C-alpha cells in the first residue's frame, strides 16, 4: 500500500466530481487523500504548479514528491491508495488501454462536465464536501 498523502485537486462545484471525491474520502480509512477544492475562493492553481485553465479542465493529483498526475493518471493514484479500488489500477494503468481511457476522460472533461449543473450548496463559489 502507498502510504504517502496524495493531494487531489477537484471541482467541488461539479455535481459528479464532488460526489465521486466525497465517496473516495469516505472510504479512505488510512487517510491517504487530502482534498483540495478548486472552486474555493482562496484556491490558486499556481500554488500547485499548474494553470487555472488546467485545474478547471482535468482532475489533478499531487504526491508528496511533487509529482503531478492528470486525468486518468490521477484516478490511478487515488485508486492505488483506496483499497476497494486497487483492482482497477492494473486495468487503467495498462499501456495499451490507457490511450482509450484518456480519450474517454478528455471527452468527458472538455464536452460533458462543463454542461453539468453546479451543486446547489455552494457559497461564494466554494463548495465544501459534507
In a domain, 89, yes or no: yes
> Is there a domain that residue 55 lies in?
yes
Share of the chain above pLDDT 90, in %: 78
State pLDDT tens for residues 77-123. 999 999 999 999 999 999 999 999 999 999 999 999 888 888 766 55
Asked if residue 17 is part of any domain, the answer here is yes
Domain annotation covers residue 120 = no
Assigned C-alpha cell, 32: 491517504
pLDDT at position 116: 84
Determine, yes or no, domain membership for 14.
yes
Output phi, psi for 110, to 5 deg.
-80, -40
pTM here is 0.86
Examine residue 128 and state whether it is found in any structural domain, yes or no: no
Strand partners, 79: none
**Total count of domains within the chain:** 1
127 falls within a domain: no
Domain enclosing residue 20, as ranges: 6-115
pLDDT band at 4 (very low <50, low <70, confident <90, very high): confident
Residues 6+ apart with CB under 8 A from 4: 32, 63, 64, 65
- Distances in whole angstroms, Cα of residue 74 to Cα of each of 13, 67, 95, 122: 19, 10, 15, 25
Q: Give the end-to-end CA distance of the chain in Å, rounded to a whole number.
A: 27
Query: Is 56 inside any structural domain?
Result: yes
Among residues 6, 70, 72, the alpha carbon closest in space to that of 35 is found at 6
| Per-residue model confidence (pLDDT) at position 129 | 46
Amino acid at each position: 500500500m502507498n502510504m504517502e498523502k496524495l493531494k487531489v485537486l477537484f471541482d467541488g462545484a461539479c455535481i459528479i466530481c464532488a460526489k465521486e471525491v466525497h465517496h473516495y474520502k469516505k472510504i479512505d480509512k488510512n487517510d491517504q487523500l487530502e482534498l483540495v477544492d478548486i472552486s474555493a475562493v482562496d484556491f490558486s492553481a499556481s500554488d500547485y504548479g499548474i494553470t487555472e485553465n488546467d485545474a478547471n479542465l482535468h482532475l489533478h493529483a499531487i504526491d508528496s514528491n511533487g509529482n503531478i498526475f492528470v486525468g486518468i493518471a490521477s484516478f490511478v493514484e487515488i485508486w492505488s491508495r483506496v483499497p476497494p479500488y486497487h483492482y482497477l489500477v492494473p486495468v487503467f494503468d495498462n499501456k495499451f488501454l490507457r490511450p482509450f481511457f484518456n480519450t474517454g476522460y478528455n471527452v468527458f472533461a472538455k464536452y460533458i462536465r462543463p454542461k453539468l449543473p453546479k451543486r446547489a450548496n455552494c457559497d461564494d463559489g466554494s463548495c465544501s464536501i459534507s
